[in-house]
Structure 1
C-alpha cells in the first residue's frame, strides 16, 4: 500500500510522480516506463520513490490508473450523470473530445492501460476492467433515462449501445493520433450515437 504523504509538500511530490508516470505510460507504454525514467522526469531519488510507492513500479502504475480514471470521470461531469436529453448527450460528447484532443492526449489512458494490463499485472487488469464497467454503466444509465422520458424506444438495448459508444471512443482515438486531428474521434462518436437516434421516438 502506498505511503501516506503527511505534508502538503509530500502530497504534491507524490502527485507529481503519479502524473509524470502517467504521461510516460501514454508515450512509451508500461514496458517503456521504468523507475529510472520516472526519477529522471521528476528529479526524485530512489528512496523518495520507494517512500511513496513501497510496492515499486507495480504500485505506482496502479496509482496512475486510479488517477487517470478520476480524471476521465471528472472530465465528463456533470453531463455523464444527467444524460437525459439530446442536448446533454451533445454536451457530454463535446466535453469528451475536449478532454482528449484539447489537452493533446491522443490516446485514452484507461484504454491504453487495458491493452497492456492483462500481460503485466492481473490486479491492474481487474482495476481497469472495473473502470470500464463503471463507465459503460454510466452511459447505459443515460440511455435508460432517455427511455424513461419517452425520448428513446424502450426496447433499445442500453448496455449494447453503451458498449458501442465506448468502442468508438477507443477506435476514434487510435485514428485521431496519426491524423493529429479530432475529426476521426468525432466521426466515430457520431456513428456510435446513431443507433440512439434510430430508436428515437416522436416525443
Structure 2
C-alpha cells in the first residue's frame, strides 16, 4: 500500500536531511523523491520548509526512539553491543556520504534554527533516556547507565561525522571497541 502524500514528503525530507543537510535540502528534491505535486507543499506544510523539516525531525527521532526502546540484554555489555549492532547500518550509510537527520537540523539560524535545535535536543535526550533505561534494566546503576548512554549517543553522532569525512568505518569501529572496553561484562 502506498503511503499518503504527506508521509512520503516527510520520508523524502528525512532522506534529504541525511544526504544534503538542512541548507542543501530543497523542496524540489522532496517533491521529486516523494512523487508529490508542487501544490502539495503548502497544502500539507503551510509553514513551508521549516514546518516540513520540523515534522521530519520529530518523526525520524520518534522512529529511532522506538527502536531504542526495544533494546535489552542479559547485561549492560549485551545492551551496548546490541546498540552498536543496531547503529552499524547508519554508520555504513555515513561512509557513503549520509549523515544524521537530527544532527542536520542543529545547523540553523534565527527563530527557525532555535526551534529545530530544541527538537534535536529533545530527540537526543529521549534517545539517551531509552538507552539509560535499557542499561539500568540490564543491571547498571542509573547514574552509570546515564553516563554510558550519553557516551554511546555521542559515539553514534560523532562517528557519523568522522566516518563520512574518512569514507571509512574505521573511526566507528575504534570508538566502539573503546566504549565496549569500558562496559562491565556482567
Is TM (by shorter chain) over 0.5? yes
Q: Which runs of no fewer than 5 residues in structure 1 stay unpaired?
A: 1-7
1:56 to 32, 45, 48: 48
For the pair shown, the structure with the greater C-alpha radius of gyration is 1
Q: Which runs of no fewer than 5 residues in structure 2 stay unpaired?
A: none
Q: Is the 8 A contact 2:19 2:98 kept in 1?
A: no
Give the match for residue 85 of structure 2: 94
TM-score of the aligned structures, taking structure 1 as reference length: 0.74
Q: Is the 8 A contact 1:100 1:108 kept in 2?
A: no
Give the match for residue 3 of structure 1: none
- The change in CA–CA distance for 1:100 and 1:76 in structure 2 (over 3 A counts) is farther
CA separation in 1, counterparts of 2:27 and 2:145?
42
- Comparing both chains, which one has the higher relative contact order based on Cα–Cα distances under 8 Å and sequence gaps of 6 or more? 2
How many correspondences in the alignment?
A: 183
Give the match for residue 165 of structure 1: 152
Output the aligned Cα RMSD. Answer: 2.9
- The change in CA–CA distance for 1:169 and 1:75 in structure 2 (over 3 A counts) is same
- The change in CA–CA distance for 1:23 and 1:155 in structure 2 (over 3 A counts) is closer
Moved more, 129-138 or 67-76: 67-76
CA separation in 1, counterparts of 2:170 and 2:4?
36
